[in-house]
Structure 1
Amino acid sequence: MSNAEYESKAYFAMSLDPIHIGTGGYRLGRVDNTIVRESGTNLPKIPGSSIEGNARTYAYYREVGNKDSKFKIPEESCALGKELNNNKPCGICPVCVSFGYTGAERTKLVNNGKGGEERISESLHGMAQFSDARILFFPVHSMIGPVWVTCPSFLKEVYEEKVEPRRKEELVISKQIGENHELKKLNLGWLYLDLDREENSPDFTNSSQFKDKFNINDEILERVVVVHDDIFEKIVNSNLEVRTSVSIDPRTGAAEEGALFTYEAIPRATILWFNVVFNQPENFNAKLMEKGQLRKAKGDDVERTIKNSFELFETLGIGGMQTRGFGRLRILNGG
């Protein structure tokens, strides 16, 4: 990590299962339980608060489960960041420093392991700030199998070359799709679009950004399709995962009357990206207890804690409906 006051790092993730981050309650419409969307684009997203909350819990799991850890083992209140069962956050473990805490005793005195005591802050905001995860490549079925759809306004954030269809009714295919299929048109779900013949087919597999920095595999990059900004939202919302479930009466083993409900989710194999801003703990006088001695926390300590927490997203998941096969998320460039 650099010595700047803060550093922003882009993370890319792939959904291993459908992901449902619900809005709460029921809605009139195509499904009963809808997912969170951006207000401006109406595109599904994973809120930064959801990522941060899960990351904090998983960081706590990793620290508690690491028998060889050289840092202070967090308390349960550290996982929450505030008082729990009359126990206050310690303020000197990796979880407290990385994700913040409140409610520690004002000007709390802590044994520094050197025969003296030092004061720590009553509260500290998190040294890692999470943005919302937005869709970059969205999987859609077509006549040539699955393709991953994106649009120019999102692609330009992470790709060095400009790729844009001339009209709404046209799309741009990757170089590999053009070489392997003789196409004049291509369907994306129910939508049937022309190929833009004047736009060169890009080879996304040659992008060092995608392969080396973001770790997106070739199987996806070879099947990327770029559509016009105006229709990307319609394609995404028309091809979300939609499931129907029912509650079972445990006494009879049959479905309960009136308990049928539907819900939607971001489908499996969607590529998303989000940013984490790492602040320098030295600027906030944050401290860590390491091997029984108090020392100043460093930016690398925060990044290590976040990295360790991301490893559990692939197993424990994020969002709701996890007992129904939802939620697992792989951070592609978390190392």
Structure 2
Amino acid sequence: MATYERRRYLFMTTDPVHVGTGGYRLGRVDLSIVREPGTRVPKIPGTSLHGAARAYSARIYESPACAGQGTNQEGRSGHCGRDDCPICYTFGYLSRKTDQEDSTVGYSGVVNVFDARVLLFPVYSMAGPVWVSTVDIMQDAGFKVTNVPSNWNVGTALLTWERNDALNLGWLMVEIAGKVLVTASQEWSKDERWKQVQDKIVLVQPALFSQVVNSNLEVRTSVAIDPERGAAEDKALYTYEALPRATFLTCEVVLDDYRDGFPKDDGKNPLQGKKKWEGPLDVLDAGLRMIEWLGVGGMGTRGFGRLAVVGQTISNVWPDEEGQKNEQQHGTS
């Protein structure tokens, strides 16, 4: 396996996703979600994905103490830190030495998980649900966009289907500047979820994208219940926002296997009958795919947080001695 490798994931939210900022604020809602500082476009932080992937892969491996700084087999605080533990090897660990109470040993993890950025945002329109993005965002994610006009106004949009009349994006009305073709990579183009949206894409200018997204986030209202009366408590009403269902996001992960000593399967681990982990990226992949079942972020018990991996991951291995990149494909598990 290559020491350095980059994989790109395409996610789709199957539930609303709320990754909060950690406090209340005055404004549109009480509990807001994390946003990019410059564009104010919502995102899912890499820290949230990393923590969820570690916790879920630890469950798969039947080593819950390795999900966080729990209690190891010797009854001491910290991760197990064993040489044959794929969880600690992949995500790093901090553990006390067995012979010294105040001495700790640790290693950094070998996988880097970056923020998941919004790629296609669902919005209601007169033509039904459409997915809004920008040319730059689509191209940065590896999509090919053709027939883009050299000059088109901020208040206009490009569509992937034929239409002459103006189109509303929520409350905002935009004129049509032309038709474009958006082509996905072969790893993603065969997935049914992509096929459902590829002819319903609206591309707007970056100056308009943030406004469209933030105006169409899902906002819900909750209230605390008085257990004695079974009714709403006075002054306990609060609101929170979330990325809506069917939002597409892209995320990159990078393998930096500086230790080059991933524990090999000795036939005695809890993965018998399951897909074997050949390297750290397999451990991370198993955890990320469990998010489709167990979710990420807050409000998980209220039906929030699930993300599904769309298609296959796109993998680029570090260039070899001749400077040629070795392209690999990794199927779904």
Shorter chain as denominator, the TM-score bin is: 0.7 to 0.9
Compute the displacement of 1:166 (Å).
1.0
Deviation of 1:220 after TM superposition, in Å, equals: 1.1
Check if 1:202 corresponds to 2:181. yes
Q: TM-score scaled by structure 1?
A: 0.81
Which residue, 94, 113, 133 being the options, matches 1:130? 113
Partner of 1:98: 90
**Secondary structure at the counterpart of residue 278 of structure 1:** strand
The match for 2:144 among 149, 157, 160 is 160
Instruction: Indicate the percent of aligned positions where both proteins have the same amino acid.
Output: 38
Residue of structure 1 equivalent to 2:38? 40
Give deviations 1:51-85, integer Å, cap 9, x for gaps: 00000000011111xxxxxxxxx3x4322156565
1:172 to 158, 163, 181: 158
Residue 147 in structure 1 maps to residue 130 in structure 2: yes
SS of the residue aligned with 1:147? strand
Separation in structure 1 between the aligned mates of residue 136 and residue 224 of structure 2, nearest angstrom: 42
The residue identity in structure 2 corresponding to 1:192 is M
State yes or no: 1:250 paired with 2:227.
yes
CA drift at 1:289: 6.8
Q: Look up the match of 1:80.
A: 68
Question: What TM-score, normalized by structure 2, do the two folds share?
Answer: 0.82
Paired residues of 1:57 and 1:79 also in contact (CA < 8 A)? yes
**Comparing both structures, which one devotes a greater share of its residues to strand?**
2
Task: Establish whether residue 193 from structure 1 lines up as the match of residue 174 from structure 2.
Answer: yes
Shift in Å at residue 286 of structure 1? 5.1
What does residue range 199-278 of structure 1 map to in structure 2 within 5 Å? Answer: 200-204=179-183, 208=186, 210-212=188-190, 216-278=193-255
Which of 314, 321, 326 is equivalent to 2:292? 314
Question: CA RMSD of the aligned region, Å?
Answer: 2.6
Structure 1 CA distance, aligned partners of 2:116 and 2:97?
35
Cα 1:203/1:9, change in 2 over 3 Å: closer
Consecutive unaligned residues of structure 1, counting only runs of 5 or more, are 65-73, 109-120
Give the Cα–Cα distance (whole angstroms) in 2 for the partners of residues 238 and 267 of structure 1.
12
* Structure with more helix by fraction: 1
Question: Of 5, 10, 13, which aligns to 1:12?
Answer: 10
Unpaired stretches in structure 2, ≥5 consecutive residues: 270-275, 314-331
Structure 2 counterpart of 1:97, one-letter code: Y
Q: Which amino acid aligns with 1:17?
A: D
Name the SS of the counterpart of 1:300 in structure 2: coil
Asked whether the equivalents of residues 159 and 209 of structure 1 are also in contact (C-alpha less than 8 Å), the reply is no
- Counterpart contact for 1:244–1:260, Cα < 8 Å: yes
Provide the residue aligned with 1:113 in structure 2: none
Distance, in Å, in 1 between the alignment partners of 2:280 and 2:166 is: 49
Shift of 1:279: 2.2
Secondary structure of the structure 2 residue equivalent to 1:259 = strand
Structure 2 Cα separation of the partners of residues 81 and 322 of structure 1: 22
Name the CA distance, whole Å, in 1 between partners of 2:5 and 2:22: 34
